[in-house]
């Protein structure tokens, strides 16, 4: 049993094995992800009923919530793989952080952008220092820090481990930041209208939302596989299989 | 269908610009991210291939003309 | 012209961890007393940044009273950031840091000692200068007292978290700016609670709970940050 787990671990640590698996999974991830996301968005845009208070502007929720959701969970995933990088020094874990950090930053930006545009018809201004938006902004800063540190250290191994330390420090801080920003918000603006705080969301609204969240997750899986493959190709350029792959494919 | 006509769908009860800007930017960024990542991978593969063919040529040249001082360093 | 830094007296056989920490603190204090400029620069910076606000925004009493604690906190945060680059730099350049890593005492304790020394050299002077600036910003006595208390609890947290960033960016060329980019997001909770406590006090709310929370931050930072800094130091040293 233990032997089997160790074998699995080694296998999972092998970039070549991952490259093959990723190639096999990617069409499915892309296809199903696109179908789900499009279904969710079309449903949300055209078929879901208008919201009672906000009218049609609430339809931004179908991209805002998936982006925000994914942006946060990408950071958590990065933290988990950072632990793997530091403890077991697994190559793939480090590649994951490297491949995925820019995606997380883009999604955080999208969540912020859609939130700001949504704020215009709801609150009357483009930007409100609302607890949620502010903590997303700080999350964006954290992503920037990770990306900047990643590109500043040239040595692969120490770059990976330094980034892992930073990600872990960030993830310890995220709950503290969230809590403190919420507290700060109540201190300065006692009563703001909360966007997604609706206890009873009609199924015609949350089913398309769920679809688009799932779709975006799968698309993220596709992007992560693609970008990890690229990192593997960059790093393993001396190995035989990458050479073979390059001569066979890259024309 | 929550809207009576296509124009009502575009107008979104006056909120059209906000909704459509959001969706446009979202689509733009996600498609851009996908295409960019894809192009990156292609570029890496292409550069590998170029380097490999250069290496092979270099090896061939060396075999043909041992007196040549041109050496090609990999990487 | 850098004055000679006394050699680390840690090579003595069987130095207890406490003694080693005390030695590190004493050595850092002595070394920076010889380089007084490094000691003075953050303080001058603090003073000047605070001066910019009445000049740049408004010298009105009502504005300054409202914004004063925030201005002081932000200025203290920035001048701490400014001083962080020196935290490990000298020791890194002259190789002391590598010796430190090789010591039998756990590295995180030595890093903790270095953070304490950093706080004694920058944080504490800032806290002592803050009342003067508070008077210049027309803060009332009670606010100044609370402000100094929050700074007293908050600046060690800034030093401890900052040490992580300083350790991560140690061998890098663009170290200074990079350090700020990495660390500022992590400073935000401390800033929020620091200024929030003063604001709550100004509104007449009891501040005991907030101060206790800040103490909790401090305890958390003392227990966790040195581990992260030590790990980061090892990585940076293996890189160079």
Interval C112-126: pLDDT, tens? 999 999 999 899 999
Q: Which chain B residues contact residue A112 at CB under 8 A?
A: none
The pLDDT value given to residue A118: 85
Give residue A124's region: left, alpha or beta (phi > 0; psi -120 to 50): left
Identity of the highest mean pLDDT range in A10-19, C6-15, C73-82, C98-107: C73-82
- For C134, phi then psi, to 5°, come to -60, -40
Say if B51 falls within a structural domain.
Answer: no
Which two tokens mark C52?
A: 């910019």
Say if A152 falls within a structural domain.
Answer: yes
Say if A2 falls within a structural domain.
Answer: no
Contacts of B26 (CB under 8 A, 6+ apart): A63, A67, A110, A114
Q: Check A152 against C235: CB less than 8 A apart.
A: no
* pLDDT > 90 in chain B, percent: 24
CA distance linking residue B28 with residue C138, whole number of Å: 51
Q: Does A154 touch chain B (CB under 8 A)?
A: no
Q: What is the CATH number of the domain that holds A115?
A: 1.20.120
Give the largest Cα separation in chain B, rounded.
83
Say if B50 falls within a structural domain.
Answer: no
For residue A247, the chain B residue with the least C-alpha distance is B49
The pLDDT value given to residue A16: 83
Say if A3 falls within a structural domain.
Answer: no
Q: Do A104 and A75 touch, CB atoms closer than 8 A?
A: yes
Which two tokens mark C196?
A: 């929030």
Say if B25 falls within a structural domain.
Answer: yes
Mean pLDDT, range C169-179, rounded to an integer? 82
Q: Does C120 touch chain A (CB under 8 A)?
A: no
Q: Check C192 against A180: CB less than 8 A apart.
A: yes
Q: Which chain C residues contact residue A166 at CB under 8 A?
A: 164, 168, 182
Domain residues for the domain of B23 are: 12-39
CA distance linking residue A147 with residue C140, whole number of Å: 44
The pLDDT value given to residue A193: 44
Nearest CA-CA distance, residue A117 and chain B, Å: 6
Say if A8 falls within a structural domain.
Answer: no
Q: Does A124 touch chain B (CB under 8 A)?
A: no
Q: Which chain B residues contact residue A23 at CB under 8 A?
A: none
The pLDDT value given to residue B71: 55
Contacts of C154 (CB under 8 A, 6+ apart): C73, C76, C190, C193, C194, C214, C217, C218
**For A103-140, how does the pLDDT look when each residue is reduced to its tens digit (9 = 90+)?**
999 999 999 999 888 888 887 888 888 788 888 999 99
Say if A12 falls within a structural domain.
Answer: no
In this complex, which chains have at least 3 CB pairs below 8 Å with chain C?
Answer: A
Report whether pLDDT(C13) > 60: no
Cα separation values, C29 from A28, B5, B10, C190, Å:
62, 76, 68, 26
Number of independent structural domains in chain A: 1
Say if A5 falls within a structural domain.
Answer: no
* Residue-level length of chain B: 75
Mean pLDDT, range B13-22, rounded to an integer? 83
Say if B24 falls within a structural domain.
Answer: yes
Domain residues for the domain of A153 are: 17-250
The closest of A59, A174, A186 to A130, measured between CA atoms, is A186
DSSP 8-state symbol, B13? G
Say if A121 falls within a structural domain.
Answer: yes
Please tell me whether residue C107 adopts helix, strand or coil conformation: helix
Say if B60 falls within a structural domain.
Answer: no
The pLDDT value given to residue C220: 92
In this complex, which chains have at least 3 CB pairs below 8 Å with chain B?
Answer: A
CA distance linking residue A159 with residue A170, whole number of Å: 16
Q: Do A17 and A11 touch, CB atoms closer than 8 A?
A: yes
Mean pLDDT, range C48-74, rounded to an integer? 90
CB-count burial class (<10 Å; 0-12, 13-18, 19+) for C164: buried
Which A positions 26-55 lie with beta carbon below 8 A of chain B?
41, 45-50, 55
Interface predicted TM-score (ipTM) of this complex, two decimals: 0.85
| Number of helical (H) and strand (E) elements in chain A, helices listed first | 8, 0
Q: Which residues are paired to A51 by β-bridges?
A: A55
CA distance linking residue C203 with residue A185, whole number of Å: 16
* Inter-chain CB pairs, A–B, below 8 Å: 103
* Inter-chain CB pairs, A–C, below 8 Å: 77
Q: Does C238 touch chain A (CB under 8 A)?
A: yes
Q: Which chain A residues contact residue B16 at CB under 8 A?
A: 56
Per-residue pLDDT of chain A (251 residues; tens, 9 = 90+): 777 777 776 766 788 888 888 888 899 999 999 999 999 998 888 887 777 777 777 888 889 989 998 999 999 999 999 998 888 888 888 889 999 999 999 999 999 999 888 888 887 888 888 788 888 999 999 999 999 999 888 888 888 889 999 999 999 888 888 888 888 877 665 444 444 555 456 777 788 888 999 999 999 999 999 999 999 888 887 888 888 888 876 44
Number of independent structural domains in chain B: 1
Say if A218 falls within a structural domain.
Answer: yes
For residue B2, the chain A residue with the least C-alpha distance is A47
């Amino acid at each position: 049993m233990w032997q089997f787990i160790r074998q699995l671990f080694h296998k999972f640590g092998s970039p070549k094995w991952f490259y093959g698996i990723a190639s096999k999974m990617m069409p499915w991830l892309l296809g199903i992800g696109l179908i789900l996301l499009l279904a969710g968005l079309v449903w949300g845009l055209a078929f879901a009923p208008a919201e009672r208070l906000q009218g049609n502007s609430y339809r931004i929720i179908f991209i805002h919530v998936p982006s925000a959701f994914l942006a946060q969970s990408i950071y958590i995933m990065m933290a988990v793989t950072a632990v793997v990088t530091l403890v077991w020094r697994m190559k793939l874990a480090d590649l994951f952080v490297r491949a995925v950090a820019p995606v997380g930053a883009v999604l955080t930006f999208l969540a912020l952008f859609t939130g700001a545009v949504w704020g215009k018809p709801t609150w009357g201004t483009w930007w409100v220092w609302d607890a949620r938006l502010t903590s997303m902004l700080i999350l964006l800063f954290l992503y920037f820090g990770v990306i900047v540190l990643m590109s500043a250290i040239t040595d692969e191994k120490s770059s990976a481990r330094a980034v892992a330390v930073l990600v872990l420090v960030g993830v310890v801080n995220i709950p503290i930041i969230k809590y403190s920003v919420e507290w700060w918000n109540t201190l300065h603006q006692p009563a703001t209208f909360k966007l997604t705080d609706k206890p009873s969301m009609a199924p015609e609204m949350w089913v398309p939302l769920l679809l688009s969240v799932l779709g975006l997750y799968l698309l993220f899986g596709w992007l992560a596989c693609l970008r990890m493959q690229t990192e593997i190709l960059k790093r393993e350029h001396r190995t035989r299989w990458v050479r073979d792959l390059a001569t066979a494919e890259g024309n | 269908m929550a809207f009576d006509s296509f124009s009502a769908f575009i107008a979104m009860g006056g909120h059209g610009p906000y909704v459509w800007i959001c969706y446009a930017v979202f689509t733009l960024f996600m498609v851009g991210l996908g295409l960019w990542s894809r192009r990156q991978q292609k570029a890496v593969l292409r550069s590998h291939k170029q380097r490999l063919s250069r290496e092979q040529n270099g090896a061939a040249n060396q075999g043909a003309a041992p007196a040549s001082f041109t050496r090609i360093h990999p990487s | 012209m850098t004055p000679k830094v006394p050699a680390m007296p840690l090579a003595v056989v069987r130095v207890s961890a406490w003694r080693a920490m005390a030695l590190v603190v004493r050595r850092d204090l002595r070394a920076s007393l010889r380089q007084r400029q490094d000691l003075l620069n953050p303080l001058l910076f603090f003073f000047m940044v605070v001066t910019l606000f009445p000049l740049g925004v408004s010298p009105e009493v009502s504005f300054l009273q409202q914004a004063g604690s925030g201005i002081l906190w932000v200025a203290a945060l920035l001048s701490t950031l400014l001083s962080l680059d020196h935290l490990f730099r000298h020791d890194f350049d002259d190789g002391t840091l590598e010796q430190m890593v090789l010591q039998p005492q756990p590295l995180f304790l030595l890093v903790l000692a270095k953070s304490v020394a950093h706080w004694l050299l920058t944080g504490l002077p800032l806290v002592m200068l803050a009342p003067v600036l508070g008077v210049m910003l027309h803060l009332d006595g009670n606010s100044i007292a609370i402000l100094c208390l929050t700074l007293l609890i908050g600046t060690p947290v800034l030093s401890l978290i900052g040490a992580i960033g300083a350790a991560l960016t140690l061998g890098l060329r663009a170290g200074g700016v990079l350090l700020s980019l990495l660390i500022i997001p992590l400073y935000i909770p401390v800033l929020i609670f620091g200024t929030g406590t003063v604001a709550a006090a100004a509104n007449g709310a009891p501040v005991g709970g907030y101060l206790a929370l800040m103490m909790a931050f401090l305890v958390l930072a003392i227990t966790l940050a040195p581990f992260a800094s030590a790990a980061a130091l090892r990585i940076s040293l293996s890189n160079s």
